Amino acid sequence: MKYSGTAHVVGANIDTDAIIPARFLVTTDHEELGRNCFEGLEPGWVKRVHKGDILVAGANFGCGSSREHAPIAILGAGIPVVVAHSFARIFYRNAFNMGLTLLEAGDAVQGIHDGDRLEVDATLGVIRNLTQQTEIICVPVPKFMQDILGKGGLVEYVRERMAKDQRAR
């Protein structure tokens, strides 16, 4: 699970309403939600994002409500991975369930600046900042979570497991 892209840095305590405001919750369409990602933080923010870019955040990213729309909006914006100081617990679980990769890097995220080029290896827990020529080591994504992410989220993972179980009978 390797990613490469430009860093888009947001602050600490970014809640789910900033990620995707309630007025956009009339759909679960990834692309539609993605077009409105971070409209609650900075209107037009998503226009700077290119597919594959990497979101970098401060502490407690994803706090607030438990809306699953938030990780869907991030994915819909073309961002496959978020590196943060830390994540709100419910957001953390929802993100993996929806297929969004997360890595907690603690205080080391402070060394990443908006526009830095990053390479992320979630399997090894390594974040390389090509711009700053630094490396951050963090806890890698566990194998069972990698399996869920590899299927695009929990629903597809379970669907495939159930189909396998049915064929085995």
Helix (H, G, I), strand (E, B) or coil at 134: strand
What fold does the segment set 2-168 form as a domain? Answer: Aconitase; domain 4 (3.20.19)
Q: Are 127 and 103 in contact (CB under 8 A)?
A: yes
Q: Is the pLDDT reported for residue 63 higher than 80?
A: yes
Q: Are 9 and 56 in contact (CB under 8 A)?
A: yes
Helix boundaries (H) for the chain? 16-19, 30-35, 69-76, 89-98, 143-150, 154-168
Q: Whole-structure pTM over 0.85, yes or no?
A: yes
pLDDT tens sequence across 76-102: 999 999 999 999 999 999 999 999 999
- Return phi, psi of residue 75, to 5°: -60, -45
Q: In the prediction, which pLDDT does 169 show? A: 67
Going by their DSSP bridges, the two strands 54-57 and 134-137 should be labelled as: unpaired
How far is 7 from 53, CA to CA, in rounded Å?
Answer: 6
Structure tokens at 100: 């969004």
Q: Is the pLDDT reported for residue 131 higher than 70?
A: yes
Identify which of 92, 146, 103 has the alpha carbon closest to the alpha carbon of residue 128. Answer: 103
Amino acid at 46: V
Going by their DSSP bridges, the two strands 126-129 and 117-121 should be labelled as: antiparallel
What average pLDDT does this structure show over 65-73? 91
